[in-house]
Each structure stands twice: as structure tokens, then as C-alpha cells.
A and B are shown apart, each in its own frame.
Chain A
């Protein structure tokens, strides 16, 4: 299967700071999604972004498919942004391959 690497594995931010999370993948992909797993374990869809750039409030994402990476930007971070951020890619038609995630802690 396709390999998905996320960096950094852990990140601690002061509230109000900005951050960039990276996702590298080993092969061309059909689909790419970013998720936020909150402290209760729920997986929240953030972006469906196989290519290009999207923005949703304080979050934005960019995927450069030809170079096999995607970036998730978080601006003016808040404590509610804490949790694990996953990147997932699909290239076989159905199953997504997930990275190991970036664990984000935002401190007040």
C-alpha cells in the first residue's frame, strides 16, 4: 500500500500561534483528506483536497499532487484545536491509507 508520513508527530503551541502540518505520500493519489480527531475520539472531516488549495475559517490546506505532499495550516490557534490531525490518501479505488497523525496541544 501507499506510505503516508506526517510531520511533526507532536506539536505544542501557545494559543494564538500559527502552525503548518505536513503530509508526504509515496505514490500518486486519487483522493486526499484531512481529519481532526478530537479528545473524545471522534473523527471530523476537515478538507477533501486531492489537489489545489482550500480555506475554511482559520484552517486552510494545500495539496501539490505532482510533488506528493499536502500542508494543513492552522492560524490563530485555539485550545479547541487540540487533538490529532490525520492525513489520508486513496489510490486503489476504495480504501484510504492514513498517516500516524500529528498530535497538537494548544495551551492557553
Chain B
């Protein structure tokens, strides 16, 4: 079945550091890939997405590239801020079941 594997957290970085959160997937079809962010006490918000191989999703300084050859969708940001502290979820959808498959989430803490 479909699955998503994320790097375990927590990830602790100093402000302005470079961020990478790894995400790899297993899927039978050609999935769409997503990154969601959850701020404390809130629901999940869509951060970015990519619907086909080599697509790059980007938003708020975050980027992720759909790599079919390595089945990966790693999240990156060049310079994190304290306000980026949150939990990040990688997810996929193959469109066959209309249900997203989520990773287990990675907590990011950014300090001054």
C-alpha cells in the first residue's frame, strides 16, 4: 500500500539556519505530493504541493521538488525564522481512494 516516511524530529535549528526535512514515499500510481504545516493549537494548513515528477512546489520561502527517481519530496528553506516553529507533515494522494496518506510529522523548533 501507499506510505510516507519522514525524518524523525524534533529538529532544532538556530534562526537563519538552512532547513531540510526528508520525505520519501511508496505508491503504486503517480501520486500528488503535499507538505502541510501545523502551528501550535491549530489544524493543518497546506504549505505546498506538486502533482507530477520534477514539479517544484514553493510557498513562504519553503520549497520541495518531486523526485520520481528517488521517490522523494524533501522540504527545504534557506533561512528559517522562529515563526517557522511548527510540525510539518508530508502526504501523498494517488487519486484512487481520495484519501491522503500522511507521514508521522516532524517537529521543527527554531531558536534565537
A-B interaction: no
Residues of chain B having any CB pair with chain A under 8 Å: none
